[in-house]
Amino acid sequence: MNQPVRKAVFPVAGLGTRFLPATKAMPKEMLPVVDRPLIQHVVDEAREAGIEHFIFVTGRNKGVIEDHFDWQFELEMALLERQKHAALEFMSQDLPIPGSTSFTRQQEPLGLGHAVWCARELIGREPFALLLPDVLVQHTPGCLAQMLEAARELDDKVNVVAVEEVPHERVDQYGVVGVGTAKGKTFTITTMVEKPRPERAPSNLILTGRYILQPEILDVLQTQERGAGGEIQLTDAMIQLSHTQNFYGLKFEGRSFDCGSKIGFLAANVSYALGRKDIAPGFRVEIKRILDELNGD
């Protein structure tokens, strides 16, 4: 792929009903995994992959996400007065450089395809990355960095999606791909289906929520009809685009967590905490104590 991928889109307009009441007054993307909001983890992944412009598709009651990626004047002054230089330095590392974030709104909940289309003016006519903040992938290098590395080996104007295996009976919760021929670490995608019944799924390889897409997807989305669940589905638009452009799947390295589900979210917290040198030793002791008490030891 010749043209560099400089921009990433983060659809963050979802209501987060699965996490009520936690998400009644707070966006689900701000739920913390250890001490970083979900959205920060995903932005970190994009930054590590070399992304320069971060485009957030927000909705009502999501203003705090915009605030999160800005200076907090009062907090910083308070930290400065208390000589908390390490905390200040730490926070400033997280801040995207001025002018590198954009926010637009998805005014109606019409689905992922519609959310991406809402960002069309900010994306322009260049390839872009799309990262769903519900999904965390724990690995270094991150999932998007692995995808960009793989994309560099492919021809111009290709689309790359991250895929992973799930148990066959769970494919109906995801977009599912059909597997063609191998090319390096990737394979060609023969077909895609959004949330198929297990007996109709082309494989048990699902779309993880990381995409590198060509701008022509925006032209397809412009006239895309509603699909599964009455929503404008990105997967349907990708199927359409796959008639004229190649799509490749990459089985990335790392463990993914579906933080849109409570179990996935809790598992992410445990796994990320155990991955932290400053937290893991004490946390292990606590987990063991809880399990021992539950087991009646």
The residues of the shown chain that bind ligand G1P, judged by CB under 6 A, are 112, 132, 134-135, 174-175, 194, 206-207, 209, 234-235, 260
DSSP string, 134-192: TEEEE-SS-HHHHHHHHHHTS-SSEEEEEEEE--GGGGGGSEEEEEEEEETTEEEEEEE
What's the Cα-to-Cα distance from 87 to each of 19, 72, 75, 172, 208, rounded to whole Å? 30, 13, 11, 44, 34
Which residue number, 102 or 261, has a Cβ lying nearer to ligand G1P? 261
Question: What length is written for the chain?
Answer: 297
Q: How many CB atoms lie within 10 A of CB 283?
A: 16
Nearer to ligand G1P, 229 or 282 (CB): 229
| Closest residue by beta carbon to ligand G1P | 175
For residue 15, the SS3 value is coil
Q: By C-beta, is 148 or 176 nearer to ligand G1P?
A: 176
SS3 205: strand
Q: How far is the CB of 69 from ligand G1P (least distance, A)?
A: 23
In whole angstroms, the minimum distance from the beta carbon of 280 to ligand G1P comes to: 27
Give me the least distance between CB of 98 and ligand G1P, in Å please: 31
For ligand G1P, the closer of residues 206 and 239 by Cβ is 206
* Smallest distance from ligand G1P to CB 177, Å: 9
